[in-house]
Homo-oligomer: A and B are copies of this chain.
């Protein structure tokens, strides 16, 4: 910029005015400065600019895994809102590791992002208190913040599961299994609660061997399913606590002698093409991202003092066939 000023024979401030299209510069001067800019290939350094203006026009997005298809539409929705607000997006994956989440978040804060959108991996976010006090707007999404009071946008996991299980009950099932993710994960616990509530609402007992929480790798899911489907009184229907469980369940059930009804939490591509097409409880993944980002920018535009909000988006039952299979006699 100094070089441009020298070449155009003007002061630094005038170059700054031209670059920022501020009014009050003679067309003649503008032309001279512009010529110098072009000749020197000058490109403003936004990092320096932002150091002075104290807004970085950037937000950090931390999610569980950039490669997880569930978070892809969420990221895209966040990006769209960020772009509409003139902000750039830092992204990173926590890989479900609280330490990595914290590292990423603090790295973003050290860059002085204006705001943060976090799918939490950990359950203690007190490390964020100094940042939030320093003015970093923060919205948690998909899972609640731990041990701090903060904005969050969640899916109604319990309600969605309740609807899904009630759907199975309405189709005549009494012995319904539930396979969920690790109980420490909030969404997993909420879904289990929904299962319990739906059964209780229908006056149905739950046997302890009907539900199981833990890692959702195919091996464990297969083992659990094998036990659910064996014995004198096997379950006649299964509620799969997430995407990965559903996929393994579909594989196993397609080779099972008796038809077993299935409802899965989370929609997935081609669910309607399988045989039978898979009934799911679908989350509004772009809606989560959009709502979180909109809330974030509202905070940034002066709504910083209002009390933290907690939004809960509904999940939607999509009946496709697998959830409408009647119990085997």
Interface, chain A (partner B; CB < 8 A): 41, 43-48, 50-51, 56, 58, 65-69, 72-73, 75-76, 79, 83, 88-93, 106-112, 130-131, 133-134, 247, 250-251, 254, 268-270, 273-275, 286
Contacts and interface: CB of A to CB of B under 8 A. Distances in A.
A280 to B, nearest CB: 13
A48 B54 CA distance: 11
Given A43-B110, A43-B134, 18 more contacts: A41-B134, A43-B130, A43-B131, A44-B110, A45-B51, A46-B107, A46-B111, A46-B112, A58-B111, A65-B76, A67-B76, A68-B72, A76-B93, A79-B92, A89-B90, A251-B273, A268-B269, A274-B274
15 contacts: A41-B130, A41-B134, A43-B134, A45-B51, A46-B111, A47-B47, A51-B51, A66-B75, A66-B76, A67-B75, A67-B286, A83-B92, A88-B90, A88-B111, A247-B273
A229 to B, nearest CB: 19
A250 B79 CA distance: 32
A90 to B, nearest CB: 6
A216 B300 CA distance: 39
